[in-house]
Amino acid sequence: AQSVTQPDIHITVSEGASLELRCNYSYGATPYLFWYVQSPGQGLQLLLKYFSGDTLVQGIKGFEAEFKRSQSSFNLRKPSVHWSDAAEYFCAVGEGGAGSYQLTFGKGTKLSVIP
Amino acid sequence: NAGVTQTPKFQVLKTGQSMTLQCAQDMNHEYMSWYRQDPGMGLRLIHYSVGAGITDQGEVPNGYNVSRSTTEDFPLRLLSAAPSQTSVYFCASSTNGRGQPQHFGDGTRLSIL
């Protein structure tokens, strides 16, 4: 069965600093990987996704993620964090075909930003 | 553009009561799903559907019922609410196919006393 691990429950960074959120997955085949962001009281918004091809994926809001098969990782990065980036971030892996597709989410990393 | 609409946004129930959480999408998506979100647990899949008339169980289906009579609607039923079902519930939809990003509603916060 697929699984996703986000090792950091809570990260605090200063505004303007760089950010890296870690995600490790367990999946037998080539994974479909996603990062979502959730602001307080809101649903989840897709930041970026990886299916195949270039292992460095660009997303919205200045985020990027790099797929590393050898490390089973899909870490999210941003060069300069803004106060509005404070939110909870979820990594997810997709499994199955068209008739049984499911997403498995990590437990999330809460990001706090210090002004 | 409404996207995925969930009602109600908040609800308090007593143990043993029944309730239906509503979910509707206007994007003609085949795939719809229900998740529950609990602190420190991430999102866990309850039930999902790949089209009208087709539903299947996810990771935590016990205590919940679903049906899919139309493409647009995917209600989630709690037949006899229990305190363990206190959670935030999210509905999501997407086109079918592996790797399609899911669009989420804003959630229903449910408390069971």
Q: What is the average pLDDT score of chain A?
A: 90
Tens digits of residue pLDDT in A5-46? 999 999 999 999 999 999 999 876 778 899 999 998 888 999
Contact B96 A98 (CB under 8 A): yes
Query: SS3 of A69, please?
Result: helix
Q: Which residue of A has its CA nearest to B41?
A: A107
Q: Residues A48-56: what's their mean pLDDT?
A: 88
Residue A29 has φ and ψ, to the nearest 5°, of -105, -170
Chain B interface test: which of A48, A67, A102 (most B C-beta within 10 Å):
A102
Compare CB distances from B99 to A41, A45, A51 and report the shortest one's residue.
A51
pLDDT one-digit tens code per residue, B29-85:
999 999 999 988 889 999 999 899 999 999 999 999 999 999 999 999 999 999 999
Could you list the beta-strand ranges (E) of chain A.
3-5, 10-14, 19-21, 24-26, 32-38, 44-50, 56-58, 64-68, 73-78, 87-95, 102-105, 109-114
| pLDDT tens-place string over residues B3-15 | 999 999 999 999 9
B44 and chain A: CB distance < 8 Å anywhere?
Answer: yes
A85-107 confidence digits (pLDDT tens) = 999 999 999 876 554 567 889 99
